[in-house]
Structure formats: structure tokens, C-alpha cells
Amino acid sequence: MKSFIGTGLFVVIGLAAALMIGFYPAFTRTPAVFDDEQSGMSREIVIKFSHVVAENTPKGLAASEFARLVQEKTNGRVKVEVYPNGVLYTEPNEQEALLRGSVQMIAPSFSNISGMSPPWIVMDLPYAFLSNEAVKEAFAGDIGAALFDKLKSRGIIGMAFWGNGFKQMTSNVGPMVHPADFKGQRFRILPSRAIEEYFRLMDARTFPIPFNDTYRNLEQGTVDGEENSISNIYSKKFYQVQKYMTLSNHGYLGYAVLMNKTFWDKLPEELHAPILEAMKEATVFANETAIAINEKQLAEIRSMSGIRIHEQTPEERREWMEAMDPAYNRLEPIVGAELIGKIRELQRKYGK
């Protein structure tokens, strides 16, 4: 026993000495915020901004606009390097990359954030938003604030909400007019308990697949359909491998622009204001252009592809809403009664 304690003490003292003499700097070093390149001659600070969509989409364009504005407003002291199309990181690992500081900014869809913070599925509830005004109100009001609050303790700052647009259904099986048309179909979805739930309520099966693998899965027939904004259906050419589309606006695809908090806190104080200003302007740009892009690209899909488009009637919308509505009660334990109540308020205000 004595010799056991003796050996233990020896190891502890040895380790302490090693720390003091040799390892000390390594143990106390705060995580590197600026790498060598960043503190080099030009003293340019680089913000790596990674996302998964194409450059000609609302998010892609807004990210480029943000980069331009930051360059301008910081007189070139800060450079935002935008990595689109998942070239750097895709959804399963972009959040880890943000947390460990391999990138400083990402803009995942709400569904993707729900893996880290489950109440975010509130944004995926079926027909939660019945107009663009409702979306705007959610972003700017209590709902947006409550959601960003949930990320603080994870070391993430919510910089802004960027909208893309309402989600539409596409499939190869047949026209999707009534809830019964979904029976037995296999849908690619974003990873979200809410989305899973409303497809289940329509007797469809769901498969969470990364965005940039979706085209291949549709083409090979591993899944029958998917749901997305027009800009994503257009930019990733899903319309080429899908025969039917229903303009249902049953969900909303939006993004939270997230920043690594350690990085932000270590930025020279005087750079905060111009970056925030750039984000504010890029956000106005994002939310204004998103609507126009989706409209324009829908017109292009109509004119150049053979996909059969069904526009949901108000009567059909009521049917879908009724079929999907039990998702609200079922998901209340995850979302919380307060947030569900706020979405219900918005629905009442904007038309339900």
C-alpha cells in the first residue's frame, strides 16, 4: 500500500514538474484564434465562412455580399473567405468545425441546427408560417431571440436569420394532391424530428440525406422524392430527376448565420461594429433577394423542364394542414409549450 502511494506521489510530482518546466506554454495556451497567415505581414484577418449550397442561391449570394461588405467596411483588414457547395465541410460536420474553430462562420438550415439544439425544430413545424410577413416576424421577434439564446451556452453567436423560401414537394411517384398520395413514398429530408413527423402523419417514410448527396439518391431511385425551396430544386437540378412538383409552401427553409464566439471575442474591438453593420446590410439583401430569386427560378423551371407542377388549392391546403397538425402536440415536449404557443399566434395572425 505504502509503495503504491509512493509511486502515485512520484507520478504527480513528476507531472507537475514537467508542466512547470517544459509543457507549461502548451497547457496554458488559449485556443489559437489567428493563425500564422492571419498575423502575417498584411495583418489581414480571415473569416472562413462555409456553407453547402450553390453560389447562385439566396444563401450563396448573401454570403458573397457579406464578404464584399466586410472588406469594404473594414478597409480590407478583414477578409471573409466563402466556401460554398460543401467544399470545405458538409452538414454532418460543419457545426463541429465551427465549434473547434476550423471555420469561423456557417449558415446551416434550422433543421440542421436542431441536432445540437432540439427546440429549433419549431421552425420546421408544418405550415408554421403562412406568409413571408409571418417569417419576418418570427426572425425579428421573440421566436428568433429565444432560439439564438439557446446557442449561447454552446459558444455560438447567432448573427442573423437569412430566409430562403417556402418548401415545395417533388417526387417521381405521382402527383401529390391529397395526403393519401404520400402513402408508402420515400422522401429525402433534412434531419429534423418535425419533418419526420409530418411525413409519418402522411404515411410516407423519410431518410435524412446530406444536401449534396440528394441528386444522386433521387437519380438512383433510393428515394422517391424530397422537399425543398425552389432555389435549391433549381440550383441542384432536382427538377431533372423528378417528375412531379406540388407548390405547397408547407414548410419554410431558412438559415441561422452563426459565428464562433471565441473568435468573435478575440477580434480587435474596433472591428465588431463594421462587421455587424455588414451583416445587417447583407441580411436585408438576403431577405429581399430570396423572394425574387425563388420566383425567377420557378419561372425558369416551368419553361425549361418537363416536371409537372401542381399548385395547391386552398381546399387542399386545409387537407394537408389537418393531416399534419398532430405534429404540434406530439412535438411539444421537445419544442416547449411557449414556442408552440407563439407559432400558433402567428398562424392565427396570418391566416389559419
Least distance in Å: CB of 112 to ligand LMR?
6
- Answer for which of 143, 190, 259, 346 binds ligand LMR (CB under 6 A) is 190
Least distance in Å: CB of 129 to ligand LMR?
16
Least distance in Å: CB of 189 to ligand LMR?
8
Least distance in Å: CB of 87 to ligand LMR?
14
Question: Residues touching ligand LMR: how many (CB under 6 A)?
Answer: 10
**53 near ligand LMR (CB under 6 A):** yes
Interaction mask 191-220, ligand LMR, x per CB under 6 A? --------------------x---------
- Answer for which of 50, 85, 109, 312 binds ligand LMR (CB under 6 A) is 109
- Answer for which of 95, 170, 217, 228 binds ligand LMR (CB under 6 A) is 228
Residue closer to ligand LMR by CB (options 48, 59) is: 59
HEC letters along the chain: CHHHHHHHHHHHHHHHHHHHHHHHHHHHCCCCCCCCCCCCCCCCEEEEEECCCCCCCHHHHHHHHHHHHHHHHCCCCEEEEEECCCCCCCHHHHHHHHHHCCCCEECCEHHHHCCCCHHHHHHHCCCCCCCHHHHHHHHHCHHHHHHHHHHHCCCEEEEEEEEEEEEEEEECCCCCCCHHHHCCCEEEECCCHHHHHHHHHCCCEEEECCHHHHHHHHHHCCCCEEEEEHHHHHHCCHHHCCCEEEEEEEEEEEEEEEEEHHHHHHCCHHHHHHHHHHHHHHHHHHHHHHHHHHHHHHHHHHHHCCCEEEECCHHHHHHHHHHHCHHHHHHHHHHCHHHHHHHHHHHHHCCC
| Span of 7-15, 51-59, 96-104, 146-154 interacting with ligand LMR by CB under 6 A | 51-59
Interaction mask 69-108, ligand LMR, x per CB under 6 A? ----------------------------------------
Residues that bind ligand LMR (CB under 6 A): 52-53, 59, 109, 164, 190, 211, 228, 232, 253
